Amino acid sequence: MNQEKDGRKVLFYDTYALYAIATGENTYKGFTGGYTIITTIMNLYELYYTLMRDNNLELAENFFNRLISSCVEINSEHIKKAAKFRFKEIKRKLSYLDCLGYIVAKSHNVKFLTGDDGFKTLPNVKFVK
């Protein structure tokens, strides 16, 4: 996969970005159209849980159903690379899932869209807060 698909830019949306879009955060309005979303089932799980926890079960269902087809596979190499990356960047206090998403994004040759401060200065990141 490259940076464009059918004339649209492709980004890996982490849970931070997906949650911001789901809850209508203004800084992410520009990422709701014109982009092809890729993410993982684990990010979708985290989004669903977080929205449900915030008493937004209907919104959780809506976004789950809309995004399930945007999920890309996680493989064993992603897991190993993510663990090594997290260990190398331990001072950034990055979550396991975010490290996995970052590695999956790199494997698809797309930028990692996030508002997580730990990723702000890393390469291959589209940081929006």
The 10s digit of each residue's pLDDT in 58-79 is 999 999 999 999 999 999 999 9
Alpha carbon distance 101, 25 (integer Å): 21
Q: Domain segments of the chain: what residues? A: 4-127
Q: Is residue 2 pLDDT above 80, yes or no?
A: no
Contact 124, 112 (CB under 8 A): yes
For the whole model, what pTM was predicted? 0.93
Helices 76-88, 96-107: axis angle to 10 degrees equals 120
The 10s digit of each residue's pLDDT in 14-35 is 999 999 999 999 999 999 999 9
Both structure tokens of 77: 């190499």
33 SS3 class: coil
Q: State the CB neighbour count (10 A cutoff) for residue 115.
A: 18
Q: Is residue 46 pLDDT above 80, yes or no?
A: yes
What is the CATH code of the structural domain delimited by 4-127? 3.40.50.1010
